[in-house]
Structure 1
Amino acid sequence: MSFLDARDHGSKVGSGGHASAQNEAIDRRERLRRLALETIDLSKDPYFMRNHLGQYECRLCLTLHNNEGNYLAHTQGKRHQQNMAKRAAREAAEKPAQPAPQRRAAVKKTVKIGRPGYRVTKQFDSDQDQRSLLFQVEYPEIDEDVKPRHRFMSAYEQKKEAWDKAYQYLLFAADPYEVIAFKIPNIDVDRSENFFTHWDADNKIYSLQVPFKPQRLTASGAAAPAGGAPQANGGPPRPPPGMQGGPPPMPPQMGNGFPGPPPGQGFPMPPGGPPPQGAY
């Protein structure tokens, strides 16, 4: 190219003229190679391999390269980047779903201000033969947007007293007050309409009524099931409801251990009078 042609194309006199697209691509790859050599460690690249012929291979794209610079330029190219994206997507699809880690709720720390006041009222419904307890706990300084809670606890859950299966515990809790517990009989709670809770937000009083299922007591004072009838000490069982009478009385016994005659009757006298002594 003469200097006239170079001047027509906008180049300076003595320069090599405008670079072609091929030359620009070569220069770009060379700049990428030098940049990659400075920033990338090939020993940590899982796809870089040198074969027995002294050439360098890309195990991801299955390509051969004459030197490290050529391989590094390949890693910055479009083909290698697309293959890496496809491999990452395939591994993510084949990887089993891991369960989400369980996050524990942060424990709320509050400064306790003491125990609340309370009232316990014993109640008895004669129509239903049912006993109940009414608990009224006062929380005058309860936190805002906090409602008191209650919970029944078995005697085997607590560690303050010796285990006694005849009792259970009823707990009340509301911040910033301490948790209080009441020791109540271990009787089944009747959770019908008689069991209710009420929170009076104006007077700050939490009410809970706990009705117990009716219990029938035996003569010894032990609780008996509702469908059975109590028994007397050492006596026969009473008849079920709706049946009249009872078991027939035992006949009186004679001195020799044999049963005597029925009441109001005697043994018949044998003919000829009473037998002589020693006949039996």
Structure 2
Amino acid sequence: MFVTLESGRIAGVNWVEHKGQQLHSRVVLTQSRIIDATIDLRPDGTASHSSVVLQAAGEEPGNPIVRDLGSGAAYWSDMITSSLEQMVRRARVLNKPDSKVETQNLYRDAPGEIEVERVDSTDWVVTANKKKYLVLTDDQGCMLAASLPEYGVVIERREKFGPEQYPLWPAYAAPPDGAYRAEEVSIPAPQGHVLAGTLTVPASGGPKFPAAVLITGLSPSERNGGAPPWMPLRDLADALTRAGVAVLRVDDRGIGKSTGDHKPSTTFDEADDVRTEVAWLRRR
């Protein structure tokens, strides 16, 4: 299994199991996004069929995405770390100093090509979407470690790492480590709609804390600023609350669990909502 670290912090875990020519891969990203993939492999490193189920922590799994991957492509997903190992295995079969590995997407019909450079028998450079991964393998092509230096990403192979070491974290809940509390809140607006959000409060200290309201951008947005695993506003709220700041983040009117209609709203209307949120937080 592989553990992905970003700036020293675990960003994802990929458990991998091989059963004959079938690969089972379970990925958990930022404790919030789950990818369960079953892939049929050929001896030459290409993939014939795949079935992928996506799920957000705390929610029901989606319907399986089942694909026929064709006859000559390896599977690739930059969210599935074991894809890197498959690129090297396919390049070993092609047996060239520089290989152009044909790839197929697990979610839609999107063929591609990834360059794999053999540095020596155990060192490789995999270039995908202009990102250069440095990959270390054993003599059989089994990936031992990898890195993406430009992004501060390090990938480690570990023999033992149980799911309990990387517990799931639903999108609006408090973190599993108990660093702070999270409360679902409803804020009535003078215009008649209700703004839904999450208030995070440090677990220790108080009774009063400095506080912040996170403001979304111009486009319609829910309180986390995106779907798992990319939730920048939750990440910001997490960092601030761990630093001792109470944080309120809110779905835009008419978005997520907030009522009202977002379509006719203007920047001035959104400013009114922010004023409502600040006033509510001050009363707390």
Q: TM-score, normalised by structure 1?
A: 0.20
Q: Comparing both structures, which one devotes a greater share of its residues to strand?
A: 2
Greater RCO structure (CA 8 Å; 6+ sep): 2
Q: TM-score, normalised by structure 2?
A: 0.20
